[in-house]
Amino acid sequence: MYDVIILGSGPAGLTSALYTARANKNTIVLGGDRLGGQMAGIAQLENYPGWNGSGMALAEFMKNQAESFGAKIEFVSAKNISGDAENGFVVMGDNGQEYSGRSVIVATGASPRKLEIAGAREFMGRGVSYCATCDGFFYSGRTVIVLGGGNSALNDALYLADLAKTVKIVYRKSEFFRAEAVLRERVAGRENIECLFNTDLEKIEAKPDSEEGELIVTTTDGQQLVVDGVFVAIGHEANTDYLTEDIKRDSMGRLAPDVLPNGMFVAGDVHSDIKMQIATAVGTGCTAAMDCVAFLNKQ
């Protein structure tokens, strides 16, 4: 039996692992399907203090640091959690293996919210993408849409502007209220980025007889845009579907620490009422780990 089972290998989970392992607690991280979570898809981190590099490089650094203190990391996703602090928790992995622990730290993060319009599911992976850094290369010299108006959307647009011929940002509001000023200024300064405000996407369909797989995207104000790809950045939903229904969640599926069973803790983007940033993920990862260690020491 492990002292601590940490679910998620993003900055929150890896920070928790560092702290619990350094406290000499037998720690395993069930890291999901890839290291780093959303952080791994950031090409250049500019707002995490003390780091100048990619998100994936930071994830590798955090992983190696946690492992150096004895944390074990497996790339397995949780299917469900049963048990309690008194008798021990059991996490069923998607590899069919059961993991037993005296405590659990939930740090499974969030996933991009899916676009629910006609054609969005049909063309997913064939023109519709939720990861600019993953798929941007395939649209070099092409025309793409970025849907959204927050930091993620503007970062995606700036990244794609270095690859694509034209980037059209479609946003339902009159200006980028939520995005940081520095990002708004950079977008305004790029000649190949066009902003379409006060509109949204209505449907996506294939352009007839297009040999290059172009799409026709219809907006809510009646425009028909011929593009090669659509990148969606309209927010996130917490990855908590594996938890039982009795654990209370907010409208985004996130968890408040005070509603969790004894012996369970939460960190990172799955934590309610925090800003979704790497710095806050690291902070809540530290807090969850320290609370977890205090809990274990009292048993």
- Only one residue has tokens 């929150």, namely 12
Q: What is the CATH number of the domain that holds 102?
A: 3.50.50.60
Residues of the chain with pLDDT > 90, as a percent, come to 77
What range defines the domain where residue 141 resides?
A: 128-232
Q: Name the active-site residue from 135, 200, 286, 291.
A: 135
- Give the distance between the most distant pair of CA atoms in the chain: 69
Same domain for 217 and 159, yes or no, is: yes
Question: Angle between the 181-188 and 151-161 helix axes, to the nearest 10 degrees?
Answer: 30
Confidence tier at 154 by pLDDT (50, 70, 90):
very high
State which of 20-24, 245-249, 254-258 shows the largest mean pLDDT.
20-24
Phi, psi at residue 53, to the nearest 5°? 175, -165
Q: Is residue 119 part of a domain?
A: no
Q: Name the active-site residue from 131, 200, 286, 291.
A: 131
* Of 111 and 219, more confident: 219
Provide the pLDDT for residue 275. Answer: 82
Of 178, 198, 232, at which residue does a domain stop?
232
Of 212, 232, 252, at which residue does a domain stop?
232
Q: Name the active-site residue from 94, 134, 221, 250.
A: 134
| Nearest residue to 212 (alpha-carbon basis) of 127, 135, 129, 128 | 127
| Nearest residue to 161 (alpha-carbon basis) of 124, 128, 136, 131 | 136
Same domain for 223 and 258, yes or no, is: no
Region 74-103 average pLDDT: 96
* 131 belongs to the catalytic site: yes
* 286 belongs to the catalytic site: no
Of 210, 232, 254, at which residue does a domain stop?
232
192-219: pLDDT as tens digits: 999 999 999 999 999 998 888 899 999 9
| Tally of domains in the chain | 2
Same domain for 57 and 157, yes or no, is: no
Same domain for 179 and 255, yes or no, is: no
| Nearest residue to 149 (alpha-carbon basis) of 180, 118, 112, 119 | 180
Sign of CA dihedral 195, 199, 202, 207: negative
* 292 belongs to the catalytic site: no
Contact at 8 Å (CB) between 266 and 10? no
Q: Full-prediction pTM beyond 0.85?
A: no
Q: Is residue 259 part of a domain?
A: yes
